[in-house]
Amino acid sequence: MRPYILAETNWHNVKNECYQVVVLPWGATEAHNYHLPYSTDNVEAESIAAEAAHIAWDKGAKVIVLPAIPFGVNTGQSDVSLDMNLNPSTQFAILNDIIDTLNRQGIYKLVVLNSHGGNDFRQMLRELGLKYPKMFLAQVDWFKIKEIDSMFEDLGEHAGEVETSLMLYLKPEWVLPLSMAGDGAAKRYKFTAMREGWGWSERRWTSVTADTGIGNPAKSSSEKGEKLFKLLTEKIGSFLFDLAETSRSDFYK
C-alpha cells in the first residue's frame, strides 16, 4: 500500500491526513501504432504521477494521486476502431465535479497530469479558477519537458521513440517486437500557416498516418525509457513538493 495513491490507501489513513496537493492523471484510450497498447497514455500518466508523488511524499509533502481518467479528446480519430472520445465539454463537467469536491473539503491545490496531446485543460482551468477562487489549478504536460529534446533521435509525436522507450521500461510485456511496428511516417498540412504553427486545425488522423503512429520507434530502448522516467519524475516530483510547501501568497517572486 502506497499512502500517496488514493486507490490503495484507506479511510483509516485518509481521515487523519491533511493533504496539500491532489494529482489527477489524465490519459486516453487509443491506438498507438501496431506495437503499443491502447492504454499507453494511461500507463504513462499513472506511473509518472505515482513516482513523482512518491518523491514529493518522501520529502515530507502530503500529496495524493487520484485514479486516472482513462479517456481523452479523440475527435480527430473517430474512424479508428475503439479510439474512445471524451468531448471537451465532458471533460469540463468531470473537472468541475472533482474541483467542487476538493474545494468543499478544503484541499485547494490540484495538478492535472496530462499524458495525451489531444487533451488541453487550460481554458477549462481558467473558467473553473474563476468559479473556485480558492483553488490553485495547474496542468502539467510531461511530454513538453524540454530536456526530452536532447535525449532522443526521433522525437515524433505519437507512439514513436519517446513513448515506445517509456513503455519498454514500464510495461515491456505489453509491447510487441519493434519489427512489427510501422515506421510512423506522417504527412503534414500543405498550408504554410499550419506548417509554421501560427495556424491550427485538427488533423484527420487516418489521412496523416497509415499505422496511427507519428514518429519512428525503431531506435527505442528500455534504457532510454528508464533515463526518461527518472528525469520526468524527479522534475515533476520537485514541482509537487514545492507547490505543497509554498503558500498561495508566495507563488510569485
CATH of the domain at 225: 3.40.50.10310
d(CA 159, CA 162): 7
Which helix (H) or strand (E) segment holds residue 140: the answer is strand 136-141
pLDDT band at 4 (very low <50, low <70, confident <90, very high): very high
Radius of gyration of the chain (CA): 19
pLDDT for the residue 31: 98
In a domain, 118, yes or no: yes
Averaged pLDDT, 226-232: 98
What is the tens place of the pLDDT at every residue in 145-179? Answer: 999 999 999 999 999 999 999 999 999 999 999 99
- Quick one: 68 exposed, middle or buried, by C-beta within 10 A (0-12, 13-18, 19+)? buried
Percentage, residues of the chain above pLDDT 90: 100
d(CA 253, CA 242): 14
In a domain, 253, yes or no: no
- 24 phi, psi to nearest 5 deg: -115, 100
In a domain, 238, yes or no: yes
Q: End-to-end distance of the chain based on CA atoms, in angstroms?
A: 38
Which amino acid, residue 235?
A: K
In a domain, 19, yes or no: yes
pLDDT for the residue 177: 98
pLDDT band at 47 (very low <50, low <70, confident <90, very high): very high
Total domain count for the chain? 1
pLDDT for the residue 61: 98
Starting at the earlier edge strand, list the strands of the sheet with 21-26.
Answer: 63-65, 21-26, 109-114, 136-141
The grid coordinates listed for 204 are 484527420
pLDDT for the residue 234: 98
In a domain, 4, yes or no: no
In a domain, 168, yes or no: yes
Q: Are 206 and 199 in contact (CB under 8 A)?
A: no
pLDDT for the residue 117: 97
Q: Which residue do the cell numbers 511496428 mark?
A: 181
In a domain, 6, yes or no: no
pLDDT for the residue 93: 98
What is the tens place of the pLDDT at every residue in 58-117? Answer: 999 999 999 999 999 999 999 999 999 999 999 999 999 999 999 999 999 999 999 999
Q: What is the pTM of this model?
A: 0.97
pLDDT for the residue 112: 99
Nearest Cα to Cα of residue 48 among 245, 225, 219, 244: 225
The grid coordinates listed for 191 are 498550408
In a domain, 5, yes or no: no
d(CA 60, CA 39): 31
Nearest Cα to Cα of residue 205 among 213, 197, 196, 216: 213
- Which structural domain range is residue 172 located in? 11-248
